[in-house]
C-alpha cells in the first residue's frame, strides 16, 4: 500500500547501468506497508532516474554482451539462474508474506517464476539452433534454375524489452517476460508495481549476486516510470500488465502510434468457468468445478488476472452451485496473516486495492447483483500471533459470491472486482453459455467443465475466438490439471480484446516475439552463409561416387568430428538395383505384405503405382546402407528422421542412389557432442527424386573414438 510521507523509510534501490542506485532524497517517495499489519516496510521513488541513460545502456552494453552468446548459451544461463534462485526461495517467501501472499501463493509466484526460467532454458536448447539466427520455414525457389531463393529469418530486435508490471505477481510477472527476452538476446528493463516492487528488487538482487547476468542484460526501476515511453522507439518493445485504463493511455503514446514501439498488454479479464449440462451435483465434474472456482477466488486473494469472475452454470443449478461454493469456503478457507498457522487466504496487496475491490462490489450490488455468500464487513482474521480479530490496518476481505436475476446485466460482464469475488449466472443452453462467456469481450482463460465430449467441443470451439486459453476439466483431469488460473510457459498466456491482446508466454513463439522476422533473398550459397543452414543448390564438398560428383580425395563426412565438419560436406553413393526378389523378401521379413508390394494386378489397378513397387522403408533402409561409413568414428548415433516424403515409386528393375549433405550443425553447450542434420535425397537411375528427408545424428565435437583413423 502506498501513501505520501515526508520522512520515508529506507528507499528500495533501482539497478541501473550495472550498479545499485537510490535517489538523492526520499522526498515525495511512496511509503510501502506490510499488507497484513500495516507496518512500514520501505519507501519507493525513482526521482531523478535517467531513463534515457538506462535505455542507452541496454541498447549498447546489454545488446553487445548478450549478443556475444548464442541462443543455447543464453538458454543455459537461464537454467543456472533458476538453480541459483531455487536455493534461495525461503528468503523470497519471507518477503512475499508481507505482500499478503500465503506460502502457496508465494510458491505460485516464486517457484512459478523459477519454473519459467527452467522451461525456457530447456525449450531454448531443444527447439532453437545454437546460433543467433533462426530460420523460419523452408526456402522458396524464386527462379527457374534455382539460383535465386527466398526465405525468412528471425534475428533479435536491436533495442530493449521494457516491462511495466502489475502488483500481484512481483516475481513470476517479471520472470515470465525476462526469460524469453533473455533467450532472444534482448536486454530487459523491468518496472514492477510500486506496492510489491520490493520483492522484485530482492529477486533482481539475487540474480545480480549470482554473477550470471551479462552486463546490461537486466535493469530495474523501483518507483514510478511515467516517462519510460518517451525514451523508447521502434527498436524497443514495451510489455505492460495492469489495468486496461493504463494500457490504453500507454497505447496512445506518440512513440507507440508514430514511433513504432512494439507494445503488448495484458489487462483486466472477466474470465469464465462454464459448468456443462451433464455436470450436475453428485458428478466428479461438479466437485472439480466447485473446487476450481474456490481455488481461483482465494489463491492470491483473487488478485489474479486469470481468476474466475463469472461462474456460468445451467439455469436452475445456480443455488446448488452457490451453496457448494459457500460450503467449501466455510470448510477450507481461513483468512489471516499468511505467517499464522492454518491461514489459506491472506490480505489483498494494499488498503487501496481493498478499497477498489469493495467499491467494485458495491457498484455491482447497486447495478442489480445480490450477495449470495459472504459479507462486505471487515472479517475476523487470524493474526500472526494466532489471535482471531478484525485487523483494520490489514487489507483483509471475505470471499464473496454474487448472483444476478438478469444474466445480461453489463456489470457482471464488464466490471472486474480484482479480489476474492465471483458471480454465478445461469445459461439456457450451450449456445447461450457461449454467448454469455463471449460477453467478457475478450478474456485470458475459460474453464469448460464437462464429461461430454460433444458439449466440450461445442463450448470450446464456440468460445475459443474470445479467449487466449481454454482449460477443459473433467474427471480425467481433476487431479492432474495444472489449474484454470495458472498460465504455463509452454502455452499462450494473453487474450484478445479486453484481455489486452498480449502473448507474453507461449513457448518459443514468445522468444520470437522479441525478434524481427525478415525475408531474405539471394543465391543458395548466400542463404547458406546468412543462415548457417545448407540450402539446396549451394556448394558442396562431395565424397563417394565420382560419377555423381564426388572427388576421390574428399573424406567421408561421417569421419569428421564437429571440429572438422562443415556445412555442405556431402556424400554421394553409387547406384543399387531393386529386384522383385528384394521386394518380396522385404515383405516377408517385415510382414508388410500390402498389395502394392505383393499383388501385381492389384498394384497396377492403383492410380499411383505402375505395378509392384518397393516399400518406402526398404529404400530408406538401403539408403542407410549406401551412405554408411561403418567403422567407429565421431558419429555416435542416428536419432531419427524428419520430413520424410516418398515422391517417385520404384518398381523392380529401377536403381536408387542417395546423397547426404550436412545441413545444420548444432553443438550442445553442455555436452561433448552435438546434433548434425543431414539433407538426404534418394534419386533413381534417371535422376528423378524418389524420396527426401532429414537424417538426424549425434556427432562428437572432437573425434576421440577413432582419433588415429584420418592420419
Ligand atoms: P495500474 O495499471 O495502475 O498499474 C500497473 C503498472 O503500471 C504499475 O507498475 C504502475 O506503476 C504502472 N503505471 C501506471 N500508470 C502508468 C503510466 N502512466 N506510465 C507508466 N507506468 C504506469 O494497475 P494497478 O496495479 O493499480 O491495478 C489496477 C487494476 O488493474 C486492478 O484492480 C485490476 O483490475 C487490474 N490488474 C490486472 C492485472 C492483470 O494481470 N491483468 C494485474 C493487476 C491488476 P506504479 O505502481 O508505480 O503506479
**DSSP calls for 599-666:** -HHHHHHSTT-SSSB--HHHHHHHHHHHH---SS-SEEEEEEEEEEEE-S--BTT-EEEEEEEEEEEE
Which residues are within 8 A (CB) of 57 and not within 5 positions of it... i.e. 6 or more apart?
16, 17, 18, 216, 219
Q: Could you tell me if the CB of 241 is within 6 A of ligand 1? A: yes
For a ligand 1 pocket test, name from 30, 170, 246, 395 the mutation site with the most ligand atoms within 8 angstroms of its C-beta. Answer: 246
For a ligand 1 pocket test, name from 51, 112, 193, 395 the mutation site with the most ligand atoms within 8 angstroms of its C-beta. Answer: 193
Q: Which three cell numbers stand for residue 653?
A: 528393375
Report in angstroms the alpha-carbon separations of 122 from 107, 297, 432: 21, 33, 42
Q: Could you tell me if the CB of 224 is within 6 A of ligand 1? A: yes
For ligand 1, atom 21: residue with the closest CA: 226
650 exposure class (CB count in 10 Å sphere: 0-12, 13-18, 19+)? buried
Q: Could you tell me if the CB of 682 is within 6 A of ligand 1? A: no
% pLDDT > 70, the chain: 98
For the entire predicted model, the pTM comes to 0.92
Residue 401 alpha carbon to ligand 1 centre in Å: 25
Q: Which three cell numbers stand for residue 264?
A: 503488448
Q: Using the atom order of ligand 1, give the atom closest to the CA of residue 247.
A: 2
Q: How confident is the model at residue 504 (pLDDT cuts 50, 70, 90)?
A: confident
Strand pairing report for 161-164 and 237-241: parallel
Helices 197-209, 71-86: axis angle to 10 degrees equals 110
Angle at 141 between CA 70 and CA 128, to 5 degrees: 20
With 50 as the cut, is the pLDDT of residue 709 above it? no
Residue 192 alpha carbon to ligand 1 centre in Å: 9
SS (H, E, C) 172-233: HHHHHHHHHHHHHCCCEEEECCHHHHHHHHHHHHHHHHCCCCCCCCEEECCCCCCCHHHHCC
Secondary-structure breakdown of the chain: helix, strand, coil percentages, each rounded to the nearest 5: 35, 25, 40
Residue 176 alpha carbon to ligand 1 centre in Å: 17
Phi and psi at residue 88, in whole multiples of 5°? -125, 25
With 90 as the cut, is the pLDDT of residue 705 above it? no
> How many residues in total does the chain contain?
711
CA atoms of 683 and 197, how far apart (whole Å)? 63
For 280-293, the pLDDT digits (tens) are 999 999 999 999 99
Positions marked active-site: 266, 305
CA atoms of 298 and 291, how far apart (whole Å)? 11
With 90 as the cut, is the pLDDT of residue 503 above it? no
For 100-156, the pLDDT digits (tens) are 999 999 999 999 999 999 999 999 999 999 999 999 999 999 999 999 999 999 999
For ligand 1, atom 30: residue with the closest CA: 243
Q: How confident is the model at residue 55 (pLDDT cuts 50, 70, 90)?
A: very high
Residue 455 alpha carbon to ligand 1 centre in Å: 37
For ligand 1, atom 17: residue with the closest CA: 226
Give me the mean pLDDT over the 574-602 stretch. Answer: 98
Q: Do 642 and 693 meet the contact criterion of CB atoms below 8 Å apart? A: yes
Task: Give the pLDDT score at 41.
Answer: 94
State the chain's mean pLDDT as an integer.
95
| CB neighbour burial string for 59-83, b if at least 16 within 10 angstroms, e if fewer | bebbbebbbebbbbbbbbbbbebbe
Q: Do 85 and 49 meet the contact criterion of CB atoms below 8 Å apart? A: no
Q: Could you tell me if the CB of 164 is within 6 A of ligand 1? A: yes
User: Side by side, which strands form the sheet with 2-4?
Assistant: 2-4, 30-33, 40-44
Q: How many CA atoms lie within 13 A of 475 on its CB side?
A: 9
Q: Do 607 and 653 meet the contact criterion of CB atoms below 8 Å apart? A: no
Q: Could you tell me if the CB of 176 is within 6 A of ligand 1? A: no
Q: To which H or E segment does residue 147 belong?
A: none
CA atoms of 214 and 208, how far apart (whole Å)? 9
Q: Using the atom order of ligand 1, give the atom closest to the CA of residue 164.
A: 9
Q: Could you tell me if the CB of 356 is within 6 A of ligand 1? A: yes
Torsion of CA 103, 105, 106, 112, to 10 degrees: 130
Q: Which of 678, 622, 626 is nearest to 650 (CA)?
A: 622
Q: Could you tell me if the CB of 266 is within 6 A of ligand 1? A: yes
Q: Using the atom order of ligand 1, give the atom closest to the CA of residue 30.
A: 47
Number of CB atoms found within 10 A of residue 87's CB:
9
Helices first, then strands: H and E counts in the chain: 22, 29
Q: How many CA atoms lie within 13 A of 663 on its CB side?
A: 18
Strand pairing report for 576-577 and 655-667: antiparallel
Report in angstroms the alpha-carbon separations of 140 from 16, 174, 523, 536: 45, 39, 11, 11
For 404-451, the pLDDT digits (tens) are 999 999 999 999 999 999 999 999 999 999 999 999 999 999 999 999
Q: Do 396 and 378 meet the contact criterion of CB atoms below 8 Å apart? A: yes
With 60 as the cut, is the pLDDT of residue 2 above it? no
CA atoms of 335 and 297, how far apart (whole Å)? 12
For a ligand 1 pocket test, name from 46, 99, 166 the mutation site with the most ligand atoms within 8 angstroms of its C-beta. Answer: 166
Q: Do 430 and 278 meet the contact criterion of CB atoms below 8 Å apart? A: no
Strand pairing report for 272-275 and 310-314: parallel
Residue 246 alpha carbon to ligand 1 centre in Å: 6
Residue 267 alpha carbon to ligand 1 centre in Å: 9
For 330-373, the pLDDT digits (tens) are 999 999 999 999 999 999 999 999 999 999 999 999 999 999 99
Task: Give the pLDDT score at 6.
Answer: 47
Q: Could you tell me if the CB of 305 is within 6 A of ligand 1? A: yes
With 60 as the cut, is the pLDDT of residue 584 above it? yes
Phi and psi at residue 700, in whole multiples of 5°? -65, 145
Q: How far is CA 364 from the centre of its chain?
A: 35
Task: Give the pLDDT score at 505.
Answer: 82
Q: Could you tell me if the CB of 193 is within 6 A of ligand 1? A: yes
Q: Could you tell me if the CB of 268 is within 6 A of ligand 1? A: yes
DSSP 62: I
CA atoms of 33 and 93, how far apart (whole Å)? 17
Q: Do 294 and 333 meet the contact criterion of CB atoms below 8 Å apart? A: yes
Residue 497 alpha carbon to ligand 1 centre in Å: 18
Q: Could you tell me if the CB of 418 is within 6 A of ligand 1? A: yes
Angle at 458 between CA 453 and CA 459, to 5 degrees: 100
User: Side by side, which strands form the sheet with 443-449?
Assistant: 369-373, 400-404, 421-427, 310-314, 272-275, 443-449, 467-473
For 459-476, the pLDDT digits (tens) are 999 999 999 999 999 999
For 192-231, the pLDDT digits (tens) are 999 999 999 999 999 999 999 999 999 999 999 999 999 9
Alpha-carbon radius of gyration of the chain: 31
Q: Do 572 and 550 meet the contact criterion of CB atoms below 8 Å apart? A: yes
Which residues are within 8 A (CB) of 477 and not within 5 positions of it... i.e. 6 or more apart?
none
Phi and psi at residue 264, in whole multiples of 5°? -130, 150
Give me the mean pLDDT over the 647-657 stretch. Answer: 97
Q: How far is CA 673 from the centre of its chain?
A: 28
Dihedral sign for Cα 353, 358, 364, 367, please.
negative
Q: How confident is the model at residue 4 (pLDDT cuts 50, 70, 90)?
A: very low
Q: To which H or E segment does residue 400 belong?
A: strand 400-404
With 70 as the cut, is the pLDDT of residue 653 above it? yes
Q: Could you tell me if the CB of 249 is within 6 A of ligand 1? A: yes
Amino acid at each position: 500500500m502506498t501513501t505520501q510521507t515526508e520522512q520515508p523509510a529506507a528507499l528500495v534501490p533501482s539497478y541501473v547501468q550495472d550498479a545499485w542506485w537510490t535517489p538523492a532524497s526520499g522526498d515525495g517517495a511512496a511509503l510501502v506497508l506490510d499488507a497484513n499489519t500495516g507496518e512500514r516496510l520501505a519507501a519507493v521513488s525513482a526521482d531523478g532516474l535517467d531513463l534515457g541513460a538506462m535505455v542507452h545502456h541496454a541498447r549498447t552494453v546489454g545488446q553487445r554482451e548478450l549478443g556475444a552468446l548464442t541462443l543455447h548459451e543464453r538458454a543455459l544461463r537461464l537454467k543456472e539462474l533458476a538453480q541459483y534462485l531455487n536455493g534461495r526461495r525461503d528468503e523470497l517467501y519471507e518477503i512475499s508474506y508481507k505482500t499478503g501472499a500465503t506460502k502457496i501463493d508465494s510458491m505460485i509466484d516464486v517457484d512459478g517464476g523459477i519454473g519459467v526460467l527452467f522451461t525456457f532454458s530447456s525449450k531454448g536448447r531443444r527447439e532453437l539452433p545454437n546460433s543467433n539466427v533462426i530460420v523460419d520455414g523452408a526456402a522458396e525457389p524464386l527462379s527457374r534454375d534455382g539460383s535465386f531463393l527466398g526465405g525468412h529469418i528471425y534475428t533479435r530486435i536491436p533495442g530493449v524489452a521494457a516491462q511495466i508490471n502489475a502488483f500481484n505477481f512481483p516475481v513470476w510477472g517479471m520472470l515470465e517476460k525476462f526469460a524469453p527476452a533473455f533467450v532472444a538476446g534482448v536486454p530487459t528493463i523491468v518496472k514492477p508495481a510500486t506496492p510489491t516492487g520490493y520483492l522484485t528488487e530482492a529477486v533482481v538482487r539475487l540474480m545480480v549476486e549470482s554473477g550470471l547476468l551479462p552486463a546490461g542484460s537486466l535493469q530495474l526501476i523501483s518507483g514510478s516510470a511515467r516517462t519510460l515511453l518517451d525514451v523508447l522507439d521502434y527498436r524497443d518493445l514495451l510489455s505492460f500488465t495492469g489495468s486496461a485504463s493504463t494500457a490504453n493511455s500507454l497505447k496512445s503514446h506518440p512513440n507507440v502510434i508514430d514511433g513504432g514501439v512494439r507494445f503488448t498488454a495484458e489487462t483486466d479479464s472477466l474470465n469464465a468457468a462454464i459448468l456443462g449440462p451433464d455436470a450436475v451435483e453428485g458428478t466428479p465434474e461438479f466437485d472439480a468445478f466447485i473446487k476450481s472456482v474456490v481455488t481461483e477466488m482465494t489463491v492470491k486473494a483473487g488478485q489474479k488476472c486469470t481468476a474466475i469472475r463469472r461462474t456460468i452454470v445451467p439455469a436452475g443449478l445456480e443455488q446448488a452451485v452457490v451453496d457448494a461454493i459457500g460450503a467449501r469456503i466455510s470448510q477450507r478457507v481461513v483468512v489471516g496473516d499468511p505467517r499464522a498457522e492454518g491461514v489459506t487466504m491472506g490480505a489483498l496487496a494494499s488498503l487501496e486495492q481493498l478499497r477498489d475491490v469493495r467499491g467494485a462490489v458495491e457498484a455491482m450490488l447497486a447495478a442489480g447483483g445480490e450477495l449470495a455468500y459472504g459479507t462486505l464487513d471487515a472479517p475476523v482474521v487470524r493474526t500472526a500471533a494466532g489471535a482471531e480479530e478484525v485487523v483494520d490496518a490489514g487489507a483483509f476481505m471475505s470471499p464473496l459470491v454474487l448472483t444476478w436475476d438478469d444474466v445480461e446485466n453489463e456489470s457482471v460482464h464488464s466490471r472486474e472486482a480484482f479480489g476474492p469475488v465471483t458471480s454465478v449466472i445461469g445459461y439456457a443452453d450451450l449456445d447461450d453459455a457461449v454467448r454469455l462467456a463471449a460477453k467478457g469481450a475478450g478474456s485470458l482463460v475459460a474453464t469448460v467443465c464437462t464429461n461430454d465430449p460433444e458439449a466440450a467441443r461445442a463450448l470450446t470451439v464456440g468460445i475459443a475466438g474470445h479467449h487466449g486459453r481454454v482449460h477443459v476439466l473433467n474427471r480425467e483431469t481433476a487431479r492432474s490439471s495444472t489449474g484454470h488460473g495458472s498460465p504455463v510457459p509452454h502455452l499462450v498466456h494473453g487474450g484478445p480484446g479486453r484481455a489486452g491482446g498480449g502473448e507474453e508466454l507461449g513457448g518459443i513463439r514468445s522468444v520470437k516475439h522479441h525478434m524481427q522476422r525478415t525475408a531474405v533473398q539471394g543465391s543458395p550459397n548466400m542463404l547458406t552463409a546468412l543462415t548457417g543452414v545448407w540450402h539446396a543448390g549451394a556448394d558442396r564438398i562431395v565424397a563417394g561416387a565420382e560419377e555423381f560428383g564426388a572427388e576421390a580425395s574428399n573424406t567421408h563426412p561421417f569421419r569428421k568430428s564437429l571440429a572438422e565438419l562443415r556445412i555442405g560436406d556431402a556424400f554421394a553413393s553409387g547406384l543399387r538395383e531393386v529386384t522383385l526378389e528384394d521386394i518380396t523378401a522385404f515383405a516377408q521379413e517385415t510382414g508388410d505384405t500390402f498389395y502394392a508390394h505383393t499383388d501385381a494386378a492389384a498394384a497396377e489397378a492403383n492410380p499411383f503405382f505402375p505395378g509392384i513397387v518397393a516399400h518406402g522403408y526398404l529404400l530408406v533402409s538401403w539408403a542407410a546402407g549406401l551412405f554408411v561409413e561403418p567403422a567407429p568414428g565421431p558419429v555416435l548415433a542416428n536419432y531419427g528422421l524428419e520430413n520424410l516424403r516418398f515422391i517417385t515409386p520404384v518398381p523392380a528393375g529401377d536403381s536408387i542412389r542417395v546423397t547426404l549433405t550436412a545441413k545444420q550443425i548444432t553443438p550442445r553447450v553442455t555436452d561433448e557432442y552435438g546434433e548434425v542434420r543431414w539433407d538426404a535425397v534418394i534419386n533413381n537411375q534417371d535422376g528423378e527424386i524418389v524420396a527426401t528427408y532429414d537424417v538426424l545424428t549425434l556427432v562428437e565435437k572432437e573425434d576421440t573414438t577413432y582419433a588415429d583413423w584420418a592420419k
